[in-house]
């Protein structure tokens, strides 16, 4: 079951939050499941049911990845819209969040 978790953040920090989310998307497991499916079939064609199960697991994990990527894309669309509404160039916001202020 999917649930949505919402929290507030400063507009300027949205791109960095998206980067954090994207970096945490697990794709290595998908590749491992596909490799394992290939290996069990190469060992014996009697293992096709095991391979089918591994591929189903890979597909489910890919669907999870796709949902996360879609969420990030929608957040970024909202971010771009909000920045345009405030008449602020996107590059200026990125420049302001790239490095902390040395005056602190």
pLDDT digits over 29-44, tens only?
999 999 999 999 999 9
Read off the pLDDT band of 92 (50, 70, 90): low
Tens of pLDDT, residues 14-23: 999 999 999 9
Instruction: Indicate if the pLDDT at residue 103 is higher than 50.
Output: no
Radius of gyration from C-alpha coordinates of the chain: 20
Cα 51 to Cα 54, 62, 81, 84, 92: the distances in Å are: 5, 16, 45, 49, 50
Q: Say what the pTM is.
A: 0.74
């Amino acid at each position: 079951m999917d649930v949505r978790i919402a929290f507030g953040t400063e507009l300027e920090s949205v791109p960095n939050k998206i980067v954090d989310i994207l970096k945490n998307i697990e794709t290595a497991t998908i590749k491992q499941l596909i490799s394992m499916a290939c290996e069990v079939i190469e060992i014996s064609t009697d293992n096709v049911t095991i391979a089918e199960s591994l591929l189903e697991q890979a597909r489910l994990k890919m669907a999870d990845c796709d949902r996360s990527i879609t969420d990030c894309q929608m957040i970024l669309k909202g971010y771009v819209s909000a920045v345009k509404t405030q008449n602020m160039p996107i590059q200026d916001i990125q420049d302001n969040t790239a490095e902390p202020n040395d005056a602190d």
